[in-house]
Structure 1
């Protein structure tokens, strides 16, 4: 998994797979989800990420 935050545009991209994207679906005005051919999620893009309180991210290890 790789997360990149573009501060100038307030966009957070979360890449969860290296598979090629074959489709994208908008899940509301600020969330887009990209899918691979097998239906798995490849990437999630969140607009206005900081404004919506999604940045800074906090990652925790499973216990």
Structure 2
């Protein structure tokens, strides 16, 4: 997974896999999800991310048991 924030555009891109995108769906004006051929989510784009409260994000790390 790779997360990129574009400060100039206030856009957050969350890349979930390296699969090619074949379909994109707008959930609403600010949230767009891209899918692979097999139906799995590949990428989530959030427009106006900071304004909508998606940033700052809290990152928590934990060890698996």
TM range (shorter): over 0.9
Q: Distance in 1 between matches of 2:6 and 2:48?
A: 10
Could you tell me the TM-score, scaled by structure 2's length?
0.91
What's the C-alpha RMSD, in Å, of the aligned pairs? 1.0
Question: Radius of gyration: which is bigger?
Answer: 2
Higher share in helix: 2
Q: Could you list the per-position Cα deviations for residues 14-56 of structure 1 after superposition, in whole angstroms to 9, with x for gaps in the alignment?
A: 0000000000000001000000000000000000000011111
Offset at residue 61 of structure 1 (A): 2.8
Could you tell me the TM-score, scaled by structure 1's length?
0.94
Count how many residue pairs are aligned between Structure 1 and Structure 2: 63
Unmatched segments (≥5 aa) in structure 2: none
Alignment of 1:48 with 2:45, yes or no, is: no
Runs of 4+ off more than 6 Å: none
